[in-house]
């Protein structure tokens, strides 16, 4: 019997059957999305033969040794099994044309991405000397046909010597290869992890959402808003929806998703967590996934007993609906080694991009490139946002992402007023008396552009009142969770009064509604997102202003936000007030953002150059030049690092000591999760002189290796009182600014 896996032990036949059973499910549920029967036929062949190279004596010797079994030592050279598997294909009876043969052989040979190069002479030597001897037993154990002779060996080697199929032409050969190789990855990874390939494949989110909206409205008819009606009526189309805050975009997106496998993305992890909680707790759908860098913490914090199962399903893309960040699902434009799994999955799925304007211009370029590739392979997309930069819309048209099967619509309601603004040519520090007075009877939100500015303002206001809270990203994960929960409680309680000072982490998809907003100047799209946290769904019920914008001594001007965009935003805003007045209707916000991000206004700016440069670079990326980790690092940005303040590290040393000694893998994972609650992400460049490695090691047969080497000790103090939820987080002495 040939062994394929060691943990748990699994025969080659068992593992192959695991793939084939998942293939049947995938084909049954999503065969109508990938209509080319030849792809399914090739995928079945690939699944049957993908691991046949594991019959090779070197592999069997190694795996049996790992299992503690006696094994006959072999003198054959090491060759990765995936390069050997194609030799078991019965090419003569398959009768494939040369293109499909090459697609099949390369899909199998590269279903594991390895740095090893192929030595044709060595492959031929091993194939003739040993592989042919295994044909009868492999045929019997796997119940498959094998070659009758070795005449086809030269064809196999010839196809492996050819350059790998790449995306240069984006033709049928390439797209077929992507689907075959990518779906084979999915089947293999799901089978190896022993998780389902698809969960709730037939589920309809439009029924779930309709029932939910009917219930909360208390009506039998007329409970869908115009945006939601449009989304439901156009499920088969790709869509770009520009809609004001408070129109029910989340529900509209789920109505559009319907029966499609769906990946729902938003810019911030906290927003993803809130959406996940809403669908699970309020709408009652328990099987959605959550996938981002700290999703396990949120699942664990919610007290979900089977969080490991949810995470495994999310990681393998098994869920019908997954809330995720773009770095988890849309990194395939970098064409890293193994990117086909992500690209092929989206061929029978849809992706929802919420608030595209919240991303840096180069990340927006990645999203646009991803949607262009997605469109070519047959996947569906929905872009929805309160404000859409015109240069992005122009690029959608230029790349033919917008076609006859794509609807572009704007939804706004100018029948009532939500915001009346006042622009002050002064620093946000000059209105402290106003904040305190307003907070005696209102919920007051203050948003600034940097953490340092938020801390400074919090400390100043704290001299006059205790009714003030601070939220930014430089709190430990466990403390930030406490603050976010406090903010939600404050928002839900109609009797709450007081001040919250935050950075732009509350801009996107955080469903809070304050009575008064004070904000530093920011680009108009960000500014209007901030407006959405004040009188979010209500009509303005007084004659005064409820949004106050401060334009002088603004933090983050040039470091967080582009200086030219900031200056244009100020000019457009002041010109509007001069000509029209202080009342800002929803249609006007859209027009101002269009003017700000038009090619005419941006021509020659650094912002526009970064956007165009990123698109040009993405258009010319060659396949397989970088790894998965490198692609993820590029998309996430490598400026941040996880840290534990020294004073906190000293308190949790026992956790590290237990981790050093723990033998049980589950316990080790629990300890890592517990330790990560005491971390937060900071700018690596900013704190580079205060970072120190964590010197805890685990002893193994091969020596010592570092524990949690992705976390550093930060030699800075930390300030937070869990009882009253007050403090400033990590204390930084210098005056540099940090985003968020």
Of 143, 38, 135, which is closest to residue 95 (Cα–Cα)?
38
pLDDT at 739: 47
Residue whose entry in the numeric block shows the structure tokens 């849809």: 350
Residue whose entry in the numeric block shows the structure tokens 């559009």: 256
Tokens representing 147?
């070659």
What is the distance between the alpha carbons of residues 24 and 510, in angstroms, rounded to a whole number?
Answer: 40
pLDDT at 585: 93
| Upper half-sphere CA count for residue 279 (Cβ side, 13 Å) | 25
> Do residues 515 and 460 lie in contact, with contact meaning Cβ atoms separated by under 8 Å?
no
Say how many C-beta atoms besides its own lie within 10 A of residue 642's C-beta.
18
Of 728, 738, 633, which is closest to residue 688 (Cα–Cα)?
738
> In this model, does residue 463 exceed pLDDT 50?
yes
pLDDT digits (tens, 9 = 90+) for 41-60: 999 999 999 999 999 999 99
What is the distance between the alpha carbons of residues 499 and 517, in angstroms, rounded to a whole number?
Answer: 10
- Pairing between β-strand 711-714 and β-strand 703-706 as defined by DSSP bridges: unpaired
Question: What is the mean pLDDT of the segment spanning 281-289?
Answer: 94
> Do residues 274 and 487 lie in contact, with contact meaning Cβ atoms separated by under 8 Å?
no
Provide, rounded to the nearest whole percent, the portion of the chain with pLDDT above 70. Answer: 98
Res. 737 pLDDT band, cuts 50 70 90: very low
Res. 510 pLDDT band, cuts 50 70 90: low
DSSP H or E stretch at residue 645: strand 640-645
Residue whose entry in the numeric block shows the structure tokens 């390069």: 83
Question: What is the mean pLDDT of the segment spanning 159-172?
Answer: 91
What is the distance between the alpha carbons of residues 182 and 217, in angstroms, rounded to a whole number?
Answer: 43
b or e along 237-259 (b: 16 or more beta carbons within 10 Å of the residue's beta carbon)?
A: ebbbbbbbbbbbbbbbbbbbbbe
Of 41, 43, 44, 51, which is closest to residue 87 (Cα–Cα)?
51
Secondary structure (DSSP) of 700-728: ETTEEEESSTTEEEE-S-EEEETTTTEEE
pLDDT at 702: 65
> In this model, does residue 451 exceed pLDDT 60?
yes
Reduced to 3 states (helix: H, G, I; strand: E, B; else coil), residue 9 is strand
Q: What is the DSSP letter of 129?
A: I
DSSP H or E stretch at residue 421: strand 421-424
What is the distance between the alpha carbons of residues 329 and 345, in angstroms, rounded to a whole number?
Answer: 9
pLDDT at 113: 87
Of 343, 349, 345, which is closest to residue 381 (Cα–Cα)?
349
b or e along 550-579 (b: 16 or more beta carbons within 10 Å of the residue's beta carbon)?
A: bbeebbbbeebbbebbbebbbebbeebbee
Res. 433 pLDDT band, cuts 50 70 90: very high
> In this model, does residue 551 exceed pLDDT 70?
yes
Instruction: For the chain, give the number of residues.
Output: 740
pLDDT at 509: 52
pLDDT at 503: 94
Res. 253 pLDDT band, cuts 50 70 90: very high
> In this model, does residue 412 exceed pLDDT 70?
yes
pLDDT at 673: 86
Q: Is the peptide bond before 197 cis (omega within 30 degrees of 0)?
A: no
Question: What is the mean pLDDT of the segment spanning 647-668?
Answer: 91
> Do residues 529 and 358 lie in contact, with contact meaning Cβ atoms separated by under 8 Å?
yes
Query: Kindly report the CA angle at 687 between 684 and 689, in degrees rounded to 5?
Result: 115
pLDDT at 505: 85
What is the distance between the alpha carbons of residues 639 and 310, in angstroms, rounded to a whole number?
Answer: 30
pLDDT digits (tens, 9 = 90+) for 574-602: 999 988 899 999 999 999 999 999 999 99
> Do residues 313 and 195 lie in contact, with contact meaning Cβ atoms separated by under 8 Å?
yes
What is the distance between the alpha carbons of residues 505 and 525, in angstroms, rounded to a whole number?
Answer: 14
Secondary structure (DSSP) of 658-693: HHHH---HHHHHHHHHHHHTT-EEEETTTTGGGEEE
Cα–chain center distance at 736 = 29
What is the distance between the alpha carbons of residues 374 and 261, in angstroms, rounded to a whole number?
Answer: 14
Say how many C-beta atoms besides its own lie within 10 A of residue 367's C-beta.
20
pLDDT digits (tens, 9 = 90+) for 328-355: 999 999 999 999 999 999 999 999 999 8
What is the distance between the alpha carbons of residues 97 and 155, in angstroms, rounded to a whole number?
Answer: 12
Residues β-bridged to residue 251: none
What is the distance between the alpha carbons of residues 94 and 398, in angstroms, rounded to a whole number?
Answer: 42
Res. 638 pLDDT band, cuts 50 70 90: low
What is the distance between the alpha carbons of residues 165 and 296, in angstroms, rounded to a whole number?
Answer: 37
Q: Spell out the SS3 assignment of 287-325.
A: CCEEECCCHHHHHHHCCCCCHHHHHHHHHCCCCCEEEEC
Q: What is the DSSP letter of 281?
A: I
Tokens representing 114?
């390895």
Alpha helices in 469-585 (DSSP H): 477-492, 524-531, 563-579
Say which residue, 212 or 708, is predicted with more confidence. 212
pLDDT digits (tens, 9 = 90+) for 67-84: 888 888 888 888 999 999
Q: Please provide the average confidence, as pLDDT, over all residues in the chain.
A: 92
């Amino acid at each position: 019997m040939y062994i394929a896996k060691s943990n748990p032990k699994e025969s080659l036949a068992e593992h192959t059957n695991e793939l084939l059973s998942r293939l049947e499910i995938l084909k049954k549920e999503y065969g109508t999305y990938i209509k080319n029967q030849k792809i399914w036929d090739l995928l079945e062949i690939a699944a049957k033969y993908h691991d046949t190279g594991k019959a090779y004596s070197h592999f069997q010797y190694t795996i049996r040794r790992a299992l503690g079994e006696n094994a006959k030592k072999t003198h054959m050279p090491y060759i990765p099994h995936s390069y050997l598997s194609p030799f078991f294909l019965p090419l003569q009876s398959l009768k494939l044309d040369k293109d499909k043969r090459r697609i099949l052989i390369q899909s199998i040979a590269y279903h594991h991405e390895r740095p090893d190069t192929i030595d044709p002479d060595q492959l031929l030597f091993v194939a003739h000397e040993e592989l042919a001897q295994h044909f009868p037993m492999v045929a019997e154990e796997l119940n498959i046909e094998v070659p009758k002779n070795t005449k086809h060996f030269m064809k196999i080697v010839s196809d492996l010597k050819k350059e790998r199929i790449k995306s240069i032409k984006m033709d049928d050969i390439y797209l077929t290869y992507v689907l075959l190789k990518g779906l084979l990855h999915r089947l293999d990874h799901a089978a190896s992890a022993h998780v389902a390939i698809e969960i709730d494949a037939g589920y309809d989110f439009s029924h779930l959402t309709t029932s939910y909206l009917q219930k909360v409205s208390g009506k039998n008819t007329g409970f869908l808003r115009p945006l939601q009606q449009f989304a439901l009526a156009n499920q088969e189309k790709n869509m770009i929806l520009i809609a004001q805050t408070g129109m029910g975009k989340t529900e509209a997106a789920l109505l559009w998703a319907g029966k499609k496998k769906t990946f729902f993305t938003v810019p911030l992890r906290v927003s993803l967590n809130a959406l996940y909680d809403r669908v699970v707790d309020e709408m009652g759908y328990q099987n959605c996934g959550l996938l981002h860098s700290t999703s396990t913490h949120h699942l664990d914090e919610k007290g979900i007993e089977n969080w490991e199962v949810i995470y495994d399903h999310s990681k393998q893309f098994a869920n019908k609906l997954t809330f995720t960040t773009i770095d988890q699902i849309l990194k395939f434009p970098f064409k890293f080694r193994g990117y086909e799994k992500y690209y092929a999955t989206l061929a029978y799925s849809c992706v929802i991009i919420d608030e595209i304007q919240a991303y840096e211009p180069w990340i927006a370029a990645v999203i646009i490139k991803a949607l262009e590739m997605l469109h070519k392979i047959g996947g569906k997309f929905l872009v929805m946002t309160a404000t859409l930069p015109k240069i992005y819309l122009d690029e959608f048209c230029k790349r033919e992402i917008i076609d006859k099967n794509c609807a572009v619509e704007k939804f706004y309601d100018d029948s009532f007023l939500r915001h009346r603004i006042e622009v002050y040519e002064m620093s946000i520090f000059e209105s402290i008396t106003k904040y305190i007075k307003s907070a005696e009877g209102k919920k007051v939100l203050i948003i600034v552009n940097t953490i340092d500015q938020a801390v400074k303002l919090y400390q100043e206001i704290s001299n006059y009142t205790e009714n003030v809270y601070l939220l930014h990203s430089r709190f430990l994960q466990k403390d930030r969770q406490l603050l976010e929960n406090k903010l939600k409680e404050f928002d839900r309680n109609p009797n709450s009064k007081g001040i919250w000072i935050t950075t732009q982490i509350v801009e996107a998809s955080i469903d809070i509604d304050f009575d008064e907003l004070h904000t530093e100047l920011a680009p108009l799209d960000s500014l209007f997102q901030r407006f959405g946290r004040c009188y979010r769904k209500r009509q303005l019920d007084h004659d005064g202003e409820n949004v106050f914008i401060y334009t002088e001594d603004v933090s983050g001007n040039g470091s967080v936000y582009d200086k030219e965009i900031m200056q244009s935003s100020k000019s457009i805003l002041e010109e509007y007030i001069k000509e029209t007045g202080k009342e800002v209707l929803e249609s006007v916000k859209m027009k101002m953002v269009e003017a700000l991000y038009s090619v005419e206004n941006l021509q020659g700016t650094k912002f526009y150059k970064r956007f165009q440069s990123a698109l040009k670079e993405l258009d010319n990326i060659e396949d397989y030049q970088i790894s998965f980790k490198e692609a993820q690092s590029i998309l996430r940005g490598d400026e941040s690092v996880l840290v534990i303040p020294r004073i906190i590290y000293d308190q949790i040393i026992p956790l590290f000591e237990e981790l050093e000694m723990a033998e049980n893998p589950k316990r080790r994972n629990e300890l890592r999760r517990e330790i990560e609650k005491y971390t937060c992400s900071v700018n690596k460049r900013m704190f580079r002189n205060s970072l120190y490695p964590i010197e805890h090691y685990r002893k193994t047969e091969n020596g010592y290796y570092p524990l949690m080497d992705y976390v550093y000790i930060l030699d800075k103090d930390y300030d937070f009182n869990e009882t009253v939820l007050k403090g400033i987080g990590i204390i930084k002495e210098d005056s540099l600014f940090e985003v968020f």
